Structure 1
Amino acid sequence: MEDDSSWEALPIERIRIPAFNFRVISEASNGENELPVSLDAAVPDDILEKIFTFLPIASMIRSTAVCKRWHDIIYSSRYLWTHMLPQRPWYFMFTCNETASGYAYDPILHKWYDLELQGIDRSSCFVSSSCGLVCFMDNDNRNIISVSNPISKDWKRLLEPPGAKFPDYSTVAIKVDQVTHNYTVTLAKSKQVPEDYVQWDFSLYKYDSWSSSWVTAVKEVFIGWRGGDDSVICGGVLYCLIQSTGVLGNVEPRHRLIMYDLVAGPSATSLTQSSIPVPCSLTCGRLLNLREKLVMVGGIAKPNRPDIIKGIGIWELDKTQWQEVSRMPHKFFQGFGELDDVFCSGGADDLVYIQSYGATALLGFDMKQRQWKWSAKCPVSKKFPLQLFTGFCFEPRLDITT
């Protein structure tokens, strides 16, 4: 099932080893002493910038350790980061409920790097990423939210958001503006109305990095529906999956998609009234932003058994209609388990990652080529039969700061 291609686990510090051994070039003149000239000094900054644009991100990180000049060019050149060749997103895999460290997979060089996350104490958290930044929300205290750049190790703890301190369900999402590098974080909280099994309080809060403050975007009472734990910002719109509580009878499908325009603000129509049903009965769903297109990876439920997963599918939202992209072939689906929520997923650009919670294997799907393929094996050790693993996708960058 898995690709047997070799992997190499490298600590992140190894990436920073100088990548090249420079030769000294010189010109002889009538037998006089040769004056060594550095090749680096002979190359102007603009030529170096163009050369760096052809490097994979891991090689670029190593280049920052060559000299101060290269370090400054790579970290400060706007030309480099706007003209560099397309970089494929990395996937970070770690063990649940342990320290916030694990392995990051580079799909270009097919290598795993030992990487420790900054700004969080442990890996039990909700995660969202955008354009090189990753947002973490602590699983035990949903008001502890931080933003981090895993590559540069720059991070920031956000101000405590408003609203209920202990919601029953919550989800966080982040979106980076690639022009200004400002970012928006959204936090959706869902809490059951006391002594009422039908009504759920839903509230949405928005954080803007330029103002470093939270604002309340919307508050609404859901009847027969509750908020979930998956959301994404795409095209200026926040998308959240909500789930039927089942108290008003059988609802098929159990999930729906609510939308909130972060630019235009609230509308006269309630979130549930304008919601979109998912394409089929799902056990769970993962929302992804792929080139500002909303993509969902969903666990397909068995007929009349919404708690049993029989396959995994990928859909893309076209306005208000879902278009099926692909379904995971059975040979890849074997080993994902049967009960309900059994996988995590992430993606960026044209690449989707899917990982079983019970295994260290990483499956990739190329949206352009419509191709499924196992990635190189992850070196995370599996100590116990029921040990769980999780992960998330992020775009490796050095120029994005928190």
Structure 2
Amino acid sequence: MIGLMEDYSSWDYLPVDHIRTPAFNSGVVSEASNGNKEFSVSLDAAVPDDILERIFTLLPIASMIRATAVCKRWYSIIYSSRFLWTHMLPQRPWYFMFTSNETAAGYAFDPILRKWYDLELPYIDKSSCFVSSSCGLVCFMDNDNRNTISVSNPITKNSKRLLEPPGETLPDYSTIAIKVDRLSHKYSITVAKSKQVPEDFVRWYFSVYKYDSWSGTWVTSASEVFIGWRGGDDSVICNGVLYCLIHSTGVLGNVNPRHGVIMYDLVGESSGTSLMQTSIPVPCSLTCGRLVNLKEKLVLVGGIAKHNRPDIIKGIGIWELHEKQWHEWHR
């Protein structure tokens, strides 16, 4: 890590407001064929809207947001053009880290411009929360009550507090996932809740709730009682399918594998299909696992457990799910 930091000696730390500072200026151009007479040329007047749109699609996201401060015309093109946001070049994901356990403050790193930005996260009281992101939108769920949910664009500073989802107010385990539709700019959020049946060590309630931005309401998508398994704290949406990590409780002797992945079709609603029937065992015994959406493919990153010592990690593995089969990338 130290060597990597030394290679990036040109990194700059900037407040997030720096993204909005003007970056372009019209100037005075000399024309030799006109007796060296100087005249003012406005790039804004010379380039039509459709050409500007295509130029903006080539910019890093931070540079494009900064360009909105140049003039009203550029601001209007960037924020109102559907073509622009649906034809942008793939952006490298930003890295964000909280700097305190008590406050929702932190720094974001732009890997293209190699700059750090100081970001404020509205509606977030502290960093103890569940986080999911998609296409620049970040969704937060408070860790204390699991019902305070907000959606934010950290760059534009636009935020929205959502209605509380239905179901258990204090579940034992919860997970959240968000997915943005690039064409319509609408987004969907899923919350999966798991709670132990009272005085029952075998059965666990498991429910999935879905929020759609175009309707502004929550619906109960699925509800089931698991036997010997419980929900976890990680999920992701890939190509319209919700994947949730589940954990074995061990009370029925099902201790290996300790984890599994269940699937729920958010488009087809998986009507009448048991969630446990969609369960896929993990490729090997894991100490922990995280699900990642990589170009609409499900990727599992997990700590590989030692033989006969399932709580001790001996390495890290990366697998991709293809037609319900795990293909190992690296370990």
Q: TM-score, normalised by structure 2?
A: 0.92
Kindly state the Cα deviation for residue 261 of structure 1 after the two structures are TM-superposed.
1.0
- 1:8 matched to 2:18: no
- Separation in structure 1 between the aligned mates of residue 127 and residue 137 of structure 2, nearest angstrom: 16
Q: 1:40–1:268: structure 2 CA closer, same or farther, 3 Å change rule?
A: closer
- 1:131 matched to 2:127: no
Native 8 Å contact 1:25 1:38 kept in 2: no
Number of the residue aligned with 2:68: 64
- Separation in structure 2 between the aligned mates of residue 183 and residue 55 of structure 1, nearest angstrom: 24
Number of the residue aligned with 1:218: 222
Number of the residue aligned with 2:50: 46
Q: 1:99–1:206: structure 2 CA closer, same or farther, 3 Å change rule?
A: same
Number of the residue aligned with 1:258: 262
Kindly state the Cα deviation for residue 43 of structure 1 after the two structures are TM-superposed.
2.4
- 1:119 matched to 2:130: no
Number of the residue aligned with 1:243: 247
Deviations 1:282-332, CA, capped at 9 Å, x for gaps: 1111111111111111111111122122211111000110001122xxxxx
Number of the residue aligned with 2:149: 145
Number of the residue aligned with 1:355: none
Native 8 Å contact 2:228 2:254 kept in 1: no
Query: What is the percent sequence identity of the aligned residues?
Result: 77
- Separation in structure 2 between the aligned mates of residue 146 and residue 15 of structure 1, nearest angstrom: 23
Kindly state the Cα deviation for residue 81 of structure 1 after the two structures are TM-superposed.
2.3
Matches within 5 A, 1:250-399: 250-327=254-331
Native 8 Å contact 2:195 2:205 kept in 1: yes
More helix by share: 2
Number of the residue aligned with 1:337: none
- 1:87 matched to 2:91: yes
Query: What one-letter code is carried by the residue in structure 2 that aligns with 1:15?
Result: I
- Higher mean Cα deviation, 64-73 or 291-300? 64-73
Kindly state the Cα deviation for residue 29 of structure 1 after the two structures are TM-superposed.
10
Kindly state the Cα deviation for residue 267 of structure 1 after the two structures are TM-superposed.
4.1
Number of the residue aligned with 1:76: 80
Number of the residue aligned with 1:198: 202
Q: 1:34–1:270: structure 2 CA closer, same or farther, 3 Å change rule?
A: closer
- Separation in structure 2 between the aligned mates of residue 176 and residue 30 of structure 1, nearest angstrom: 53
Kindly state the Cα deviation for residue 50 of structure 1 after the two structures are TM-superposed.
2.3
- Separation in structure 2 between the aligned mates of residue 96 and residue 169 of structure 1, nearest angstrom: 24
5+ residue gaps, structure 2: none
- 1:20 matched to 2:24: yes
Matches within 5 A, 1:169-188: 169-188=173-192
Deviations 1:78-98, CA, capped at 9 Å, x for gaps: 222233332111111113522
Secondary structure of 2:131's counterpart equals strand
Q: 1:84–1:220: structure 2 CA closer, same or farther, 3 Å change rule?
A: closer
How many residue pairs get aligned? The number is: 327
Kindly state the Cα deviation for residue 136 of structure 1 after the two structures are TM-superposed.
0.7
Number of the residue aligned with 1:161: 165
Number of the residue aligned with 1:230: 234
Match of 1:109 among 104, 109, 113: 113
- Separation in structure 2 between the aligned mates of residue 131 and residue 114 of structure 1, nearest angstrom: 20
- Separation in structure 1 between the aligned mates of residue 34 and residue 128 of structure 2, nearest angstrom: 70
- Higher mean Cα deviation, 255-264 or 244-253? 244-253
- Separation in structure 2 between the aligned mates of residue 216 and residue 234 of structure 1, nearest angstrom: 20
Deviations 1:27-59, CA, capped at 9 Å, x for gaps: 69988x965342332222222222222221222
Q: 1:274–1:56: structure 2 CA closer, same or farther, 3 Å change rule?
A: closer
- Separation in structure 1 between the aligned mates of residue 57 and residue 247 of structure 2, nearest angstrom: 45
Deviations 1:327-381, CA, capped at 9 Å, x for gaps: 2xxxxxxxxxxxxxxxxxxxxxxxxxxxxxxxxxxxxxxxxxxxxxxxxxxxxxx
Secondary structure of 2:243's counterpart equals strand
Q: TM-score, normalised by structure 1?
A: 0.77
- Separation in structure 2 between the aligned mates of residue 83 and residue 195 of structure 1, nearest angstrom: 54
Stretches (4+) displaced over 4 A: 26-31
Kindly state the Cα deviation for residue 65 of structure 1 after the two structures are TM-superposed.
1.4
Query: What one-letter code is carried by the residue in structure 2 that aligns with 1:216?
Result: T
- Structure with more relative contact order (C-alpha pairs < 8 Å, separation 6 or more): 1
- Separation in structure 2 between the aligned mates of residue 238 and residue 198 of structure 1, nearest angstrom: 25
Secondary structure of 1:167's counterpart equals coil
- Separation in structure 2 between the aligned mates of residue 142 and residue 274 of structure 1, nearest angstrom: 26
Native 8 Å contact 2:100 2:106 kept in 1: no
RMSD (Å), alpha carbons? 2.1
Secondary structure of 1:273's counterpart equals helix
- Separation in structure 2 between the aligned mates of residue 52 and residue 219 of structure 1, nearest angstrom: 45
- Higher mean Cα deviation, 207-216 or 77-86? 77-86
Native 8 Å contact 2:27 2:41 kept in 1: no
Number of the residue aligned with 1:369: none
Number of the residue aligned with 1:394: none
